[in-house]
Amino acid sequence: MKKFFIQTFGCQMNVYDSDRLHATLATRGWAPTDKIETADLVILNTCSVREKATEKVFSHLGKINKLKKKYNLEMKIAVIGCVAKELGKVVRHRAPYVDYVFGPQSWHLLLGALENTPTLCDTGNYRLDKFKDLATVKTQAVSAFISIQEGCDNVCTYCIVPFTREREFSRDFDTVMKEVDQVVSNGAREIVFLGQNVNNYKDENGKNLADLIRATAKIELVKRIRYVTSYPTYLTDELIDLFGSEPKVMPFLNLPIQAGSNAVLKKMNRHYTREDYFAIIDKIKKVNPNVVVSSDLIVGFCGETEEDFQDTMDAAKRVPFLVSYSFKYSPRPHTPAQKAFKDDVNPKDKAERLKRLQDLLHRIQKDFNQACIGKTVEVLIDQDKGAGVFRGRSPYMQNVKIDTDKEGLLGEVVSVKIKDASSFLLYGELA
Ligand code: SF4
């Protein structure tokens, strides 16, 4: 049996794509291997959201080519995902030993190409076609991620996604619900709906994310529902109400603000002000005061002053942001910012601001975690580490470790009395 090895970079959307490709290859006589040198096919599923990410791909390809020369000259190499889309044929110019190049909306073509085409580069946008012949993910993962919406019609000036994943499209409601049923029958107890603008999901019959959530919540075995990534202005009252009315919707929302300064938000072409953003947060907390918000934050965007950066720090304290991601701005090809703005914040200031912001986010997370000591938290167990050690997640995406002599807790929601906490982990025992 021929073997394949998949390496995935970047966001959960890429992980989802790799899992579907994995499941589909397995139905076509291929077997997965975690030893790259034994593979007949090596697939890199790539991310180009930051400059470093693109260069990382070529250093990986160089290493793979060395293994190919040493162990298996017949090995096929495929580059899929956003770097493939960003660079297209350039991938093979820089790495001529790469056989296949497919974008995030065309990697399904690899399946046919493996049967009859020695090399192929096609980064077209096949939208929903991509999903047609894909097998469902067979893993018994307790948390299942399901892509429901892809692409983006917004044009944030720093972002390469509109170029790499192109225009927005939503998958059909019934198809998505069929996939929900399949992953639940495979053991999933938490459903995480994915999209670049997941809260803008709407299928051809007008079904939206709230409809998907309500239908999924009716499935008895489903214990938790989450969705990521949301765009602030697409958060409807209908979705906000579900934080109060549907107990399976976890009180945790990823809602990227990106920056705290109105001047920077305007330059980023984000369609809201900091005041608009805070008003959305206040609305959510009125419906359910326990909701926790996570964000993505960029420091050092073109023209950002120390005052602008202070607005970002204030926003992080005001909301406050937990479980958040923060980055230094790096110009990306095919983006309005790269064409129109000077990358004028010097690297030293970018690094220093990022450090200050990450120290603050770290402190906020630590305080939040330590405030859980002595409390009882509902934990969905998603890992059995053996020897009586289980891992799971709280409703607030906190990692929780418990030691117990109980068995068979995988997929169960258990009450855990928190005994200790660090910035990254809560320790507890069954209540
Ligand atoms: S909303 Fe903005 S940041 Fe998000 S994917 Fe679209 S363009 Fe990128």
pLDDT in tens, 21-41: 999 999 999 999 999 999 999
Q: Is 43 in the pocket of ligand 1 (CB under 6 A)?
A: no
pLDDT digit string, tens, across residues 213-260: 999 999 999 999 999 999 999 999 999 999 999 999 999 999 999 999
pLDDT digit string, tens, across residues 399-424: 999 999 999 999 999 999 999 999 89
* pLDDT averaged over every residue in the chain: 95
DSSP characters over 37-106? GG-SEEEEEE--SSHHHHHHHHHHHHHHHHHHHHH-TT-EEEEEEHHHHHHTTHHHHH-TT--EEE-TTT
Name which residue leads in pLDDT, 145 or 135: 145
Tokens of 223: 């214990």
Distance between CA atoms of 17 and 25, rounded to whole angstroms?
A: 12
- The domain limits of the chain are 3-129, 144-370, 376-430
Q: Is 159 in the pocket of ligand 1 (CB under 6 A)?
A: yes
| Residues 28, 177, 182: CA angle, nearest 5 degrees | 45
pLDDT at residue 139, rounded to an integer = 66
Atom number of ligand 1 nearest to Cα 152: 6
- The answer to whether the 3-129 and 144-370 domains have the same CATH topology is no
Which value, to the nearest 10 degrees, does the dihedral of the CA atoms of residues 403, 404, 409, 412 take?
Answer: -70
Q: Any idea which architecture 3-129 has in CATH? A: 3-Layer(aba) Sandwich (3.40)
Going from the Cα of 188 to the center of ligand 1, the distance in angstroms, rounded, reads 29
pLDDT at residue 144, rounded to an integer = 95
Q: Which CATH number fits domain 144-370: 3.40.50.1950, 3.30.70.580, 3.40.50.720, 3.80.30.20?
A: 3.80.30.20
pLDDT digit string, tens, across residues 344-382: 999 999 999 999 999 999 999 999 999 999 999 999 999
Q: Is 231 in the pocket of ligand 1 (CB under 6 A)?
A: yes
Q: Is 196 in the pocket of ligand 1 (CB under 6 A)?
A: yes
Question: Tokens 């005041």, residue?
Answer: 275
Q: Is 158 in the pocket of ligand 1 (CB under 6 A)?
A: no
Percent of the chain with pLDDT over 90: 92
Atom number of ligand 1 nearest to Cα 159: 8
pLDDT surpasses 80 at 51: no
Distance between CA atoms of 424 and 25, rounded to whole angstroms?
A: 36
Going from the Cα of 160 to the center of ligand 1, the distance in angstroms, rounded, reads 8
pLDDT at residue 148, rounded to an integer = 97
Going from the Cα of 102 to the center of ligand 1, the distance in angstroms, rounded, reads 21
CATH 3.40.50.460 describes domain 376-430: no
Going from the Cα of 259 to the center of ligand 1, the distance in angstroms, rounded, reads 13
Helix (H, G, I), strand (E, B) or coil at 150: strand
pLDDT at residue 135, rounded to an integer = 84
- Give, for 15, the enclosing helix (H) or strand (E): helix 12-26
Supply the DSSP symbol for 289. T
Going from the Cα of 170 to the center of ligand 1, the distance in angstroms, rounded, reads 16
pLDDT surpasses 70 at 82: yes
Going from the Cα of 413 to the center of ligand 1, the distance in angstroms, rounded, reads 34
pLDDT surpasses 80 at 8: yes
Q: Is 414 in the pocket of ligand 1 (CB under 6 A)?
A: no
Nearest CA to ligand 1 atom 4: 196
Stretch 142-167: mean pLDDT, rounded? 95
Going from the Cα of 34 to the center of ligand 1, the distance in angstroms, rounded, reads 33
